[in-house]
Amino acid sequence: WRQRQLEYTWLRALMDRYEDFWSVTQASLDFTLKTLGLEAKPDLLTRIAAAYDALTLYPEALTALQGLAPTRLAIFSNGSPAMLTNLTRQAGIDGLLETVISVDEIRTYKPDPRGYRLVEDRLGLTRDEILFVSSNPC
């Protein structure tokens, strides 16, 4: 599901056919279930996808983020603003972040360079002053 989700964002960015991340999340889940030979009714798809809106932090994440103070912290994500607001609030990290930056603002997906320029502009920093830490394995 996650791999397909990333692939869908890359393809949409290359084709310049933006859809918000929630739509991509649902489409990739639907594809994954069909590929596995599973059939899900729309309400089940919605409930499964909603779990993506309630991800929990890794056990050490909160302590690590707190330990980084007074470093400026931000999230730069493909996630839609509503998804990111929900996730940061329920995880209890919203108060630790200076800002949350979504590619939704520029209607494309990472790794489009415009997204990284958006981060530079929003934070008022150059690329040499920013460290990106990814949750993706590749």
Are the C-beta atoms of 110 and 103 separated by less than 8 Å? yes
Residue 50 pLDDT: 78
Same domain, 103 and 67: yes
Confidence of residue 120 (pLDDT cuts 50, 70, 90): very high
Question: Amino acid letter at 45?
Answer: L
Same domain, 21 and 79: no
Instruction: Classify 20 as helix, strand or coil.
Output: coil
CA torsion angle 18 19 24 30 (round to 10): -120
Rg value, the chain, Cα: 16
Sign of CA dihedral 8, 9, 13, 16: positive
User: Residue 20 is part of which domain span?
Assistant: 1-53
Mean of the pLDDT values across residues 90-117?
95
Same domain, 70 and 115: yes
What's the angle, vertex CA 38, arms to CA 33 and CA 42, rounded to 5?
70
What CATH number corresponds to the domain at position 36? 1.10.150.240
Same domain, 74 and 125: yes
Residue 92 pLDDT: 92
Same domain, 116 and 129: yes
Q: What is the pLDDT of residues 35-55, one digit of tens each?
A: 999 887 888 877 887 787 788
Residue 97 has pLDDT above 80, yes or no: yes
Query: What total of structural domains would you count in the chain?
Result: 2
Same domain, 24 and 49: yes
Same domain, 47 and 69: no
Same domain, 74 and 96: yes
Same domain, 7 and 66: no
Residue 53 pLDDT: 75
Residue 101: enclosing H or E segment and its boundaries? strand 99-102
Kindly report the backbone phi and psi dihedral angles of residue 122, in degrees, each rounded to the nearest multiple of 5, phi listed first: -65, -40
Same domain, 68 and 118: yes
